[in-house]
């Protein structure tokens, strides 16, 4: 009984950590400053959004969003979490 609670707590902690990691990977921004173009790319490993801040003609605020890349990003992170949970449950279920 105690071992089952310990396993559940470990799995819950791993899931919470992975969810936080997935949120950070989707919202992480990388700023690129070039002389004629300043923009921020969001997403890891796939860039799903670009916010253009400045171009050679002046300040702008243009967003380019790729829903397909966002879906792949989220699916990748949650798929890895599902596989990791399955592996952990397999090894935890062995007595």
Q: Which of 66, 29, 22 is nearest to 48 (CA)?
A: 66
Q: Is the alpha carbon torsion for 82, 87, 89, 90 positive or negative?
A: positive
Tokens of 45: 């490993």
Tens digits of residue pLDDT in 24-33:
999 999 999 9
Note whether 49 and 43 are within 8 A (CB).
Answer: yes
Q: Which of 67, 75, 29 is nearest to 48 (CA)?
A: 67
Tens digits of residue pLDDT in 23-82:
999 999 999 999 889 999 999 889 999 999 999 998 999 999 999 999 999 999 999 989
DSSP state of 32: E
Strand order in the sheet with 37-42: 29-34, 37-42, 49-55, 58-65
pTM here? 0.76
């Amino acid at each position: 009984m105690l071992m089952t609670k310990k396993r559940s707590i470990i799995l819950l902690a791993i899931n919470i950590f992975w969810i936080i990691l997935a949120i950070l990977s989707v919202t992480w921004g990388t700023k690129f400053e070039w002389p004629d173009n300043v923009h921020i790319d969001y997403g890891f490993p796939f860039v799903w959004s670009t916010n253009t801040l400045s171009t050679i003609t002046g300040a702008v605020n243009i967003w380019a969003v790729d829903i397909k890349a966002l879906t792949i990003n989220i699916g990748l992170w949650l798929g890895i979490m599902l596989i990791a949970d399955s592996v952990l449950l397999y090894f935890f279920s062995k007595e």
